[in-house]
């Protein structure tokens, strides 16, 4: 399983979230992404590397270019964790609500 720490650390950076948003539209090269975010191509490559290590992005060589795409499995891990945490809180709040309603 991918480290949730690495996943959430990768998503904590606003530029990386912008990169993820760009890739949500379609796979793209670092040059194409750099045209859409306010950082250099070199910075985009570093951000993509962090996202790739976190399991959120996959790279494929396309001739001379490297094309990046989002990998859903990394996001699935995050959603599963958040769902578990949310369910636990929902259960706690339901108990509290029943307690308050009895008074």
pLDDT at site 1: 46
Number of H helices, E strands in the chain: 5, 3
Residue tagged 């001379």 (tokens): 64
Q: Give the model confidence (pLDDT) of 46-71 as tens digits.
A: 999 999 999 999 999 989 999 999 99
Q: pTM here?
A: 0.80
Q: Which residues contact 8 (CB under 8 A, 6 or more apart)?
A: 78
Residue tagged 């976190």 (tokens): 54
Q: What share of the chain is helix, strand, coil (3-state, %, to 5)?
A: 70, 15, 20
């Amino acid at each position: 399983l991918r480290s949730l720490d690495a996943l959430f650390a990768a998503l904590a950076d606003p530029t990386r979230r912008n990169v993820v948003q760009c890739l949500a539209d379609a796979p793209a090269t670092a040059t194409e992404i750099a045209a859409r975010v306010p950082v250099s191509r070199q910075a985009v490559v570093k951000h993509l590397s962090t996202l790739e290590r976190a399991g959120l992005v996959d790279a494929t060589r396309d001739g001379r270019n490297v094309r990046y795409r989002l990998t859903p499995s990394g996001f699935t891990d995050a959603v599963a964790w958040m769902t578990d945490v949310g369910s636990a809180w929902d259960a706690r709040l339901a108990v509290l609500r029943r307690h308050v309603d009895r008074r």
